[in-house]
Amino acid sequence: MRIDIISVLPELIESPFNASILKRAIDKQIIEICFHDLKKYASNKRKQVDDYQYGGGSGMVMMIEPIKKCIDLLKKQRTYDEIIYMSPDGKMLNQKISNQLSLKGNLIILCGHYKGVDQRVRDSLITMEISIGDYVLSGGELPAAVLCDSIIRLIPGVLGDETSALTDSYQDNLLAPPVYTRPSTFEDLKVPEILLSGDQLKIENWREEKAIERTRKLRPDIFD
């Protein structure tokens, strides 16, 4: 998979890709991430990518020309499955969307800044709009990093143990069961006996029971 990320401040998003699971996915060439500095596509000498909004009011708006130039250039080189704009009024990100996007080949992610982008960008260039929650951040870079992480960890070969993404919360509409590690007794806190029993079938049943119990209690809205 290849993800092209367009931003006025690409340095804001680069670091999450330089460590841990995301870096490993890049090193293993399972995923290619390309950052595009929108200022390079500005047509005037001042490298201007934003301007005052028509009708007045505070806050700058990102202009359509540099965004269109950048997206057109990318589209000339390959076909994209989705051109995504990170936006607080977009579709709320969830595991189902991440699963679907993890099956795609090429994605573009546009990060907004300031007041957001000229509406004509959204109307004519964008195929999907995603929000990471009902709150407003200063830019789309952190949301784009969240989106990329949630997608990339689902691609086969990225996580060391393939099954571990499948047993995470929200796969199968269930939250994950509780997990424990050594020591088996810490002060007066004990690991549930069954996990030490070595009986894999019983352990799996216990985990499923706990996942159902936890989901019912914490997220009755997703429990069916």
In the complex, which residues of this chain contact ligand SAH (CB under 6 A)? 86-89, 111-113, 115-116, 131-133, 135-137, 139-140, 143
Indicate the residue among 16 and 112 with the shorter CB distance to ligand SAH: 112
What secondary structure letter does DSSP report for 75? H
Indicate the residue among 71 and 86 with the shorter CB distance to ligand SAH: 86
Give bridge partners of residue 190 from the DSSP assignment: 185
CA distances from 4 to 10, 44, 62 (A): 11, 24, 18
Nearest distance from residue 129's CB to ligand SAH, in Å? 9
3 state DSSP class of 186: strand
Indicate the residue among 150 and 215 with the shorter CB distance to ligand SAH: 150
Closest residue (Cβ) to ligand SAH?
112
Q: Are 59 and 84 in contact (CB under 8 A)?
A: no
Nearest distance from residue 144's CB to ligand SAH, in Å? 8
Indicate the residue among 7 and 215 with the shorter CB distance to ligand SAH: 7
Q: Are 3 and 31 in contact (CB under 8 A)?
A: yes
Indicate the residue among 86 and 101 with the shorter CB distance to ligand SAH: 86
Nearest distance from residue 36's CB to ligand SAH, in Å? 15
Helices marked H in the chain — which ranges? 11-14, 20-27, 64-77, 95-101, 119-124, 141-152, 163-166, 200-218
Nearest distance from residue 189's CB to ligand SAH, in Å? 38
Nearest distance from residue 55's CB to ligand SAH, in Å? 14
Neighbour tally for 208: CB within 10 Å: 13
